[in-house]
Chains A and B, each alone.
Chain A
Amino acid sequence: MTEQHGDAPPDEYVEAEIQRMLAEDPAIAEQGITVVCLERGLVLYGEVESPHRREEILRRVAERFPRVPITSDIGVIRTQAPSQVEELP
C-alpha cells in the first residue's frame, strides 16, 4: 500500500521525532518501522501484524505532521504454516 500526504520537505528532526513516535505512541508501539528521509518526503517501511496497525500508523503520523509528505510501504506479515523444515545435523 502506498499513500502520500502533505507538501513540506521534512528535516532530520522531523525524521527523528517520527521514529520515536512510532515506538512511544501507545497507539502505535512499533519499533520495527524504518523511517527513510528522501528529497521530497519520508518513506515508512517495515511490516506489522495487522492491517489495522498499518492504518493507525498512517493516521497518527499524518495527524501529527500534516504538512510532511509521507509515503508508506508497510506490509502485513504472513502467518501461514511453514512449507519447509531446517535440518540441523
Chain B
Amino acid sequence: MIRIAAVGDVHMDEDVVGRFRPALDELPDCADVLLLAGDLTRHGSESEARCVAREFGNLGVPVISVLGNHEHQCDEVPQVVKVLEDVGITVLEGNGIVLECAGGRLGVAGAKGFGGGFAGRCASDFGEPEMKAFVQTTKDSADALGRALRGLECDVLVALTHYSPVPDTLAGEPLEIYPFLGCYQLGQAIDSAPTALALHGHAHHGSERGTTPGGVRVRNVAHPVIKQAYSIFHLGDHLDRG
C-alpha cells in the first residue's frame, strides 16, 4: 500500500507561516509522500516562496508539487522554483518522478494545466489569435501531462495538476466560470495512461470527488474544500497481496 498526503491552494505568505506545521510534523507517521496541487503562494513572489519553503520543507517525507496560476502573477517562476527546489521540493511541469516507497513504486506526473472548459461547453481553436493562444496553452499542457504519465514505469500512477480534469469536482462553483477552472483535455491525458488517482486544486468552492470518463478517480484537494491541513489516500492494496 502507498500512502499519499495532498493539499493545494495554501496561498502562503508571512501571515500563514506556522499554521500548517503542527499537522505537517505528523506526516512521517502517516504518509509516504506529500503532493502539493499548486497555488502555494498569493502572488508567486520569491519572498512568498520562502514562506512555502519554511512551512513545507524538511518534512521527513518527499514533497512533490506543481505550480498554480498564482505562482505566475509576479513573473518570478524561475526564482520560485529554485527556492522550492533548494529545500528539496520537487516541482513538476510536464514531467514525472518515480519514488521507491515501502509499499511499491509510486509514479507522479504533474502539470499546472489550464482552463478551456469541458466537453460540449469548451473553448475552440478558432478565431482571434488570443483565442487560439488560449486553446493552444490548454492543449500543450494536457499533451505534456499525457506524455509524462505514459512515460512512467511504476506500480501506482498519480496525476497531479492545479486545474481540474473533470467538471464533477467543480460542483459548487458557478457554472459560468467552469472554463476558467479546468478542461476536458486534462481528463483525456489522465485516461491515456493507467492512472490510479488524479489530484487537483484551484476550485475553492468545488467538491471533493469525481471520476474521469475513463473511470479514474479524481479528488479536489484545494485547502478550502478539504478544510484540513491535507487529505490522505491509501492506494495499491494489490501490492500488499503480491
Contacts and interface: CB of A to CB of B under 8 A. Distances in A.
Interface string A22-66: 000010010110100000000000110110110000000000000
B42 A79 contact: no
Interface string B39-67: 00011000000000000000000000000
A2 B10 CA distance: 24
Nearest to A78: B227
Interface string B119-147: 00000000000000000000000000000
B205 A78 contact: no
Interface residues of A, number: 22
Contacts of B98: none
Contact of B234 (A52, A78, A87): A87
A74 to B, nearest CB: 11
Contacts of B87: none
Contact of A82 (B43, B204, B230, B237): B230
B82 to A, nearest CB: 22
Contact of A80 (B10, B16, B229): B229
B184 to A, nearest CB: 21
A85 interface: yes
Q: Is the interface of A mostly helix, strand, loop or mixed?
A: loop
Interface stretch (B18-26, B102-110, B161-169, B186-194): B18-26
B231 A80 contact: no
Interface string B192-206: 000011000000110
A52 B12 CA distance: 13
Given A31-B204, A79-B20, A79-B23, A86 B233 contact: yes
B150 interface: no
B23 A50 contact: no
A45 B99 CA distance: 40
Contacts of B205: 32, 34, 46
A40 B237 CA distance: 55
A49 B43 contact: no
Contacts of A87: 233-234, 237
A85 B205 CA distance: 22
Given A32-B204, A85-B30, 16 more contacts: A32-B205, A46-B224, A47-B204, A50-B15, A50-B16, A50-B19, A79-B23, A79-B228, A80-B23, A80-B228, A80-B229, A81-B30, A81-B230, A85-B233, A86-B234, A87-B233
